[in-house]
Amino acid sequence: MRKNRIIAIDGPAGSGKSTTAKQVAKRLGFTYLDTGALYRALTLLALKNGIDIESEGELVNLLQQSKFQLQSQGDDIRIWINGEEATEAIRSPEVSRAVSMVARHPAVRREMVQLQRRLASQADVVVEGRDIGTVVFPEADLKIFLTASLEARAQRRLKELHEKGVEIALHELKRDIERRDAIDSQRETAPLKKAEDAIVIDTTELTIDEQVDKIVQAFRALAEQRRKSSDASGVKNT
């Protein structure tokens, strides 16, 4: 029986998943697992090695032959691919445009799910992605689905990229995000969608602190509810 606790945070690109998940994990003393970084790492590796991102078999072979390492460093998550750090490189516009094409392959997703489950099995975790509550961890203790307007998501991504010295027009980001939304939502395997028991949080008008507060409060309320239920059950059984 699983003993570690899991908070699953899903949502489309730019909805605030990564920043919020990091802060929730920090607040609760959990480990943060960025599943999107793993797909981005595979995408970067494929682009660098001239692998056809339409070829499911080539991508699976590449994934099986590669080693990915995630490490927390303050508020940041750093990633290494085969011993070489790629933390900044996986966030490039080129990778952002291609990652949904890589992630839509069923065999790639099956391999990734197994990797994600192994990485998450040793600790209490906050996991974010697009199919965490529906496919990767359907038994998660708490499921959150973040959403936001296209304008808000594009503005956030623009700010992130500008802070990293990457220049790109807002209209290009909106086009890329809309394209990713369509691919992620319409793929046959593990599409982006809300789990039936997920709590929906619209982040358009919320600060990161407000998003974090809502999730932490929901988790603590759930924990308290379960504690009371366990206590009541114990009384009945005595």
Is 87:41 a contact under the CB 8 Å cutoff? no
Residue 76 pLDDT greater than 80, yes or no: no
Reported as a pLDDT band with limits 50, 70 and 90, residue 2 is low
Q: Give the pLDDT confidence of 148-169 residue by residue, as tens digits.
A: 999 999 999 999 889 989 889 9
Domains within the chain, CATH numbers bracketed:
6-232 (3.40.50.300)
Structure tokens at 149: 């307007």
Is 6:99 a contact under the CB 8 Å cutoff? no
One DSSP character per residue, 179-230 reads: HHHHHHHH-SSS-S---TTPEEEE-TT--HHHHHHHHHHHHHHHHHHHHHHH
Average pLDDT over residues 60-85: 87
Average pLDDT over residues 87-96: 93
Average pLDDT over residues 49-70: 95
Tell me how far apart the alpha carbons of residues 187 and 60 are, in angstroms, rounded to a whole number: 18
Percent of the chain topping pLDDT 90 = 67
Q: Give the pLDDT confidence of 131-146 residue by residue, as tens digits.
A: 899 999 999 999 999 9
Top pLDDT among 159 and 229 is at 159
Average pLDDT over residues 17-39: 91
Residue 75 pLDDT greater than 70, yes or no: no
Q: What distance separates the 2 farthest-apart alpha carbons in the chain? A: 66
Residue 205 pLDDT greater than 80, yes or no: yes
CA 81 centroid distance within chain: 18
Average pLDDT over residues 28-42: 91
Tell me how far apart the alpha carbons of residues 67 and 220 are, in angstroms, rounded to a whole number: 36
Is 139:45 a contact under the CB 8 Å cutoff? no
Top pLDDT among 74 and 188 is at 188
Percent of the chain topping pLDDT 70 = 96
Instruction: Single out the residue of 39, 32, 2 nearest to residue 17, CA to CA.
Output: 32
In this prediction, residue 34 carries a pLDDT of 84
Residue 235 pLDDT greater than 60, yes or no: no
In this prediction, residue 73 carries a pLDDT of 66
What's the mean pLDDT when you consider all of the chain? 90
Structure tokens at 115: 């990797």
Average pLDDT over residues 192-200: 94
